[in-house]
Amino acid sequence: MRIETEDLVLRYGDVTALDGLTLNLEAGKIYGLLGRNGSGKTSLLSILAAFRRQTSGGVRIDGRPVFENGAVTSRISLIRDTGETLDIGNAEDAIFFAEWLRPDWDGDYARSLLDLFGIDPKKNVKEMSKGQRSALGVVIGLAGRAPLTMFDESYLGMDAPSRQAFYDALLADYMAHPRTIILSTHLIEEVSSLFEEVVIIDRGRLVAHEESQTLLARGTAVTGPVAQVEAFTAGLKVLGTRRLGPTASAMVYGDLDDARRAQAAAAGLDLGPIAMQDLFVHLTGGPGAPGAPGAPGASGTGEESPAAELRTGETR
């Protein structure tokens, strides 16, 4: 399902959760939705799933409005961060209602996933651990095969082996049954290999929407002797520098042309990729709180952050 939002605004009293967000997502891809706590990720997903109505702006799924539109919402699944929270009985009951609600439900696949995650169908949902509830939510999200399937941190309660099993199952089922999938996550490095495209939002605004490899290519780690690194990066946008004795590694934002790369080689410097998590941290204001004094892009610093540059000239 194709997603289109235009000047999307959502307010809770005096708090603006989404601030003029315009976004177009093609159908049939896996998207990573990244943002700090309070950035508006859950608010955006709630509007896409018609759990909330926007304050202003437009939302269309496959060209149709989504709020109170049963023909559209029956093809949308949002599994939230609390996992499967329907306290309606046991796991078998939850599966029954999910099948009733989802026209593309695959019962055999659901049962195989219950076995994969070690979920007892007869166990009461209220008595499950957080990890078990998260796993049950994952089962319902995957087996529903909704054309638009969204996971909002719904696997955080699972342990590392179970999360890896989820990632493997998601990718295998997506390849067999293509659909639009959005993964909202803080476990960026753990799951980033699944993303075809990345959407970053910060304080309710779009920071970046790029193909994963295109976004990663915007950053380069320059490593070598401190003096050579400082000389090479002078005049470049440096996101941060790490030092260990006589060696420094600077994270540079922006494309390096062939001449620059030849210059680095001549200086004995190594050029390498930046981890997506590092790039995300700096695009959303560095290690401090967003907008905090002294943080990159904070008001009063006199400098624009990379996030501001993306907002003004490089988003799509």
For the stretch 209-230, pLDDT in tens is 999 999 988 899 999 999 999 9
Taking a C-beta distance cutoff of 8 angstroms, is the pair 267, 232 a contact? Answer: yes
| pLDDT tens-place string over residues 265-303 | 999 999 999 889 888 888 887 554 444 333 333 333 334
pLDDT given for residue 41 in this prediction: 96
Question: Which residues pair with residue 59 across a beta bridge?
Answer: 5
**280/153 Cα distance (integer angstroms):** 17
pLDDT band per the 50, 70, 90 thresholds, residue 86: low
| pLDDT tens-place string over residues 89-134 | 899 998 998 898 899 999 999 999 999 999 999 999 888 888 999 9
H or E segment to which residue 7 belongs: strand 3-12
Going by DSSP bridges, is the β-strand pair 30-34/180-184 parallel, antiparallel, or unpaired? parallel
Q: What domains does the chain contain, in order, with CATH numbers?
A: 3-214 (3.40.50.300), 217-314 (3.30.70)
pLDDT given for residue 85 in this prediction: 56
Taking a C-beta distance cutoff of 8 angstroms, is the pair 182, 150 a contact? Answer: yes
At 289, give phi and psi (nearest 5°): -65, 145
Whole-angstrom CA distances from 242 to 132, 245, 288 are 40, 10, 17
pLDDT given for residue 250 in this prediction: 93
Rg, Å, the chain Cα set: 22
Terminal-residue alpha carbon distance, the chain: 19
pLDDT given for residue 298 in this prediction: 37
pLDDT given for residue 144 in this prediction: 95
Which tops the pLDDT comparison, 126 or 53?
53
Taking a C-beta distance cutoff of 8 angstroms, is the pair 150, 45 a contact? Answer: yes
- pTM of structure: 0.85
Q: Which residue has the tokens 């859950």?
A: 42
| Helix 160-176 with 130-144: angle, nearest 10 deg | 0
Residues belonging to the chain: 316
pLDDT given for residue 306 in this prediction: 45
Local structure of residue 310 (DSSP, 8 states): I
Average pLDDT over residues 59-81: 93
H or E segment to which residue 209 belongs: strand 205-211
Residue 1 pLDDT more than 80?
Answer: yes
At 27, give phi and psi (nearest 5°): -75, 155
Taking a C-beta distance cutoff of 8 angstroms, is the pair 250, 240 a contact? Answer: yes
